[in-house]
Amino acid sequence: MELLRRGYKVDIGKDDDREIDFIAKKGNMIEYYQVTMQLPNGSDREIGNLKYLDDNYKKTVITANRMDVGNHDGIEIRYIVDWLLK
């Protein structure tokens, strides 16, 4: 709902057997989003689904765990409250 409120057209997607939670489009801009409560240790699912996309569009993981934030292989990991306030 927040992406729609921000003016994006929103789709869900798949890349082979990998699910992409949200594909947000506004004009020529495309952004990919994965949403998770927290990033599990040793699991590459949320980040891996974005990492294997071979384009240069912005990729973001939104998490409810404020300790998970940072950047992983060019994929921004944002705390949901900070993302909502941006």
Model confidence at 66: pLDDT above 70: yes
Can you give the pLDDT at residue 11?
96
Q: Which CATH number fits domain 2-85: 3.40.1350.70, 3.30.1120.10, 3.90.1150.10, 3.40.50.1470?
A: 3.40.1350.70
In one-letter notation, the amino acid at residue 42 is: G
Rounded CA separation 67/61 (Å): 13
Model confidence at 39: pLDDT above 90: no
- Work out the pLDDT band at 42, boundaries 50, 70, 90: low
Instruction: Locate the domains of the chain by residue range.
Output: 2-85
Rounded CA separation 86/11 (Å): 21
- Work out the pLDDT band at 52, boundaries 50, 70, 90: confident
> Reduced to 3 states, what is the DSSP secondary structure of residue 28?
coil
